[in-house]
Structure 1
Amino acid sequence: MKLCIGTVQFGMDYGVFDAPKKDPEYCIKCLDFATQNGINAIDTATAYGTAEEITGRFLAKKTIEREKLFISTKLLPNIMDAVEPKDYVKVIRCNLQKSLDTLHTDYVDTFYFHSSRYAFKPELLEAIAVMKKEGLARNVGVSVYYPDEALACFENSNINYIQAPYSIFDHRMREEDVFGQGSKAGFNIDVRTVFIKGLIRLRDSEVPDHLGKARPILRKLDVLCKETGYSRIELAMGYVRREMTINHLVFGVRSLEQLKEDIKSFNKEIPESIFDEIDTEFSGIDADLVVPSLWVK
């Protein structure tokens, strides 16, 4: 498993408190540091505000060879809803080409549908596969939210990649054998929401009222940290890193300092016995806490 820089925070307000996006030059500085320190994967999307543009500015500098990078982007959510089937390929190609122009590259390594329900639409999956045949994308797939969406993808040979949520508090993909089934189907899997939109980073007093039921769970995690000597971030990244079938752990960057610390945390070796305890102690947490799209303020 490798790390992948998630760029949503570069292009728009994001996080538990919708933290303001960063200055573009600062974001490029973070990408420079990441690629100079062993991270070659970058995840972006049309829906992430100016993130594609910032990523494109970084790529245009050519401080690292394009072939050494793994760039992923996503089609605008829901954009295919009003499109006639006969126009699927044309609309997908047109939008992907816009992304390629913005990114200053002639292909992406993975191109996703950003609407998870498209996992259940074989005709759309067939259409996005054309982008792979035409060389505009080396892999194609769907960014999913729920195990049933991931499992539906595995039944379709037109695609070969998914991005899914997975964290120390969200075991749904593991419990439903998504990783095992994906591996058997020959799929590549990246995971996101490892810090649950920054929730895992918050002190007790910083947790907003609408996420109040996270406080006792975070306190329980702090007890485990004290008992084992590992930080929250080390345990959160280590728990995900343990799953050998995952290609990339996608994580956001709030600051260069945080990026440096996260790289160190990712490389920390943690005993399997601690992960077994996490499997027991943090199983079955409500989806409306671990799935940010379900948060109600």
Structure 2
Amino acid sequence: MTFGEQNTEKEAHEMLSYAFEHGINALDTSEAYPIPMKKETSGRTDLYIASWLKSQPRDKVILATKVCGYSERSAHLRDNAKVLRVDAVNIRESVEKSLKRLNTDYIDLLQIHWPDRYVPLFGEYLYDSSKWRPSIPFVEQLKALQEVIDEGKVRYIGVSNETSYGVMEFVHAARVEGLSKIVSIQNSYSLLVRRFEVDLVEVCHPKNCNIGLLSYSPLGGGALSGKYLDINSEAAKKGRMNLFPGYMERYNKSIAKEATMQYIEMAKKHGLSPVQLALGFVRDRPFMTSSIIGATSVEQLKEDIDAFLTTQRPLPPEVMEDIEAIFKRYKDPAIL
């Protein structure tokens, strides 16, 4: 989501090639990228991926993208729309444009980026009943997704920033109507954001709905690397939280920074880097299918891959005990 905003096409290609050469075969993009969403840059991430993908074996790359949920501010993504919805018209236009930008015949995984209905998003915590609004029925959304699957344009479908209610409704609707079932959920999960464990972990369990978690922001938007603790550092100045005022402000709150400092000190105690601790923790969760990292340089990407591959697996019991001790004091430090 930085390609086309924080990264040039050349830099994007360097990172994609390095990742592919070191065993990473899944790419996650969106019609909304790069972030922050702007009409002038819209779609550049896909274009950079497409120009790299030309020289790669397509069948060896798992390409995931997303169709936006309800939005009154992103109408520029459609030819003729004032509001984005997750309905047949929007899904079809989104898929057709994504295929064209990505220069591919099919999408391996199409995800609903955020729900069509109201839900608390991006750091919001409590459900506000006064914000309820009419939404596209789950069955109607699934039927529209089924159409692009039947046409061979999409292989699998998933959701993102979704709740237990949403997952269960999608699974139930698919079962009753004989439609394709969602296979994945892409939600935020890290040392600072562990809400998935409250009830989604039960819903998504293999014996229940059998939905794989693709965690985004396993480094808390970079916060868990510790680079934002020194606001005058070069790394902090280049970080997206400082480049885009108000972006991911939930990680800049004092209590979130306090929790981050606790985890960083604990990592040092056990001879781990902050990145090793954060990515090792997410990697080892029994309900984790894959974690999604967003790097803005080959150096950063290398550190992330090395941390994932070389950190003791699983993390030692004494490390997990210390993580849980900190978690008891800072259960939701990144909520707004």
Output the TM-score relative to the length of structure 1: 0.81
Aligned to 2:198: 175
**SS of equivalent residue, structure 1 residue 94:** helix
Q: Aligned equivalents of 1:199 and 1:142: distance in 2?
A: 25
CA contact (8 A) 1:46 1:74 kept: yes
| Matching residue of 2:27 | 42
Aligned residue identity for 1:181: C
Alignment of 1:14-163 (within 5 A): 21-49=6-34, 50-60=44-54, 62=55, 64-78=56-70, 88-118=87-117, 121-122=137-138, 123-144=140-161, 146-157=163-174, 158-163=181-186
**Cα RMSD (Å):** 2.8
Task: Quickly say closer, same or farther: Cα 1:72–1:232, change in 2 above 3 A.
Answer: same
The residue number in structure 2 matching 1:280 is 325
Residue identity matched to 2:204: Q
Give the C-alpha shift of residue 233 in structure 1.
Answer: 0.6
Query: Within 2, Cα distance between the matches of 1:198 and 1:48?
Result: 18
- The answer as to whether partners of 2:68 and 2:84 remain within 8 angstroms in 1 is no
User: In the aligned structure 1, how far is the partner of 2:202 from the partner of 2:21?
Assistant: 30
Structure 1's 89 and 286: CA in aligned 2 closer, same or farther, altered over 3 A?
same
Counterpart residue type for residue 162 of structure 1: I
Give the conservation status (yes or no) of the 8 Å contact 2:70–2:84: no
Report the alpha carbon displacement of residue 66 of structure 1 after superposing the two structures with TM: 0.8
Instruction: Report the Cα distance in structure 2 between the residues aligned to 1:151 and 1:283, rounded to whole angstroms.
Output: 29
| Cα offset, 1:92, TM superposition | 1.1
Q: CA deviation at 1:286?
A: 6.3
Question: How much does 1:154 deviate?
Answer: 4.5
More displaced stretch, 214-223 vs 175-184: 175-184
When residues 222 and 82 of structure 1 are mapped into structure 2, their CA distance, relative to the original with a 3 A threshold, is closer
Q: Distance in 1 between matches of 2:85 and 2:159?
A: 20
Q: Deviations over 1:234-292 (max 9, x none)?
A: 111111111233222101012101111110100111214312331332247465x536x
Q: Deviations over 1:52-96 (max 9, x none)?
A: 111111112x2x3111111100113426995799xx324312220
- Residue range with higher mean Cα deviation, 261-270 or 133-142: 133-142
CA separation of 1:216 and 1:258: change in aligned 2, threshold 3 A: same
- Seen in structure 2, the aligned counterparts of structure 1 residues 220 and 91 have a Cα distance that, compared at 3 Å, is closer
Equivalent residue letter for 1:10:
F
Which residues of structure 2 form unaligned runs of 5+?
35-43, 72-80, 120-134, 175-180, 237-241, 243-248
Shift of 1:137: 1.3
Structure 1 residue 188: Cα displacement: 2.6
Question: How many pairs align?
Answer: 272
Q: Percent identity?
A: 25
Counterpart in the other structure of 1:219: 261
Q: CA deviation at 1:190?
A: 0.9
Q: 1:153 to 1:182 in 2, by over 3 A?
A: farther
Name the aligned partner's letter for residue 71 of structure 1: L
Question: Structure 1: which 5+ residue stretches go unaligned?
Answer: 1-7, 13-20
Instruction: Looking at secondary structure, tell me which structure has more helix per residue.
Output: 1
SS of alignment partner, residue 138 of structure 1: strand
Instruction: Note if contact 1:73-1:108 (Cα within 8 Å) is conserved in structure 2.
Output: yes
Q: 1:105 to 1:283 in 2, by over 3 A?
A: farther
Matched residues in 2 for 1:128 and 1:140: separation?
A: 8
Describe the superposition over 1:117-144 as per-residue Cα deviations: whole angstroms up to 9, x where unpaired. 4598412133223322322111112111
Structure 2 Cα separation of the partners of residues 51 and 73 of structure 1: 11
Do residues 244 (structure 1) and 286 (structure 2) align? yes
Structure with larger Rg:
2
Distance, in Å, in 1 between the alignment partners of 2:83 and 2:303 is 44
Maintained 8 Å contact 2:70/2:114: yes
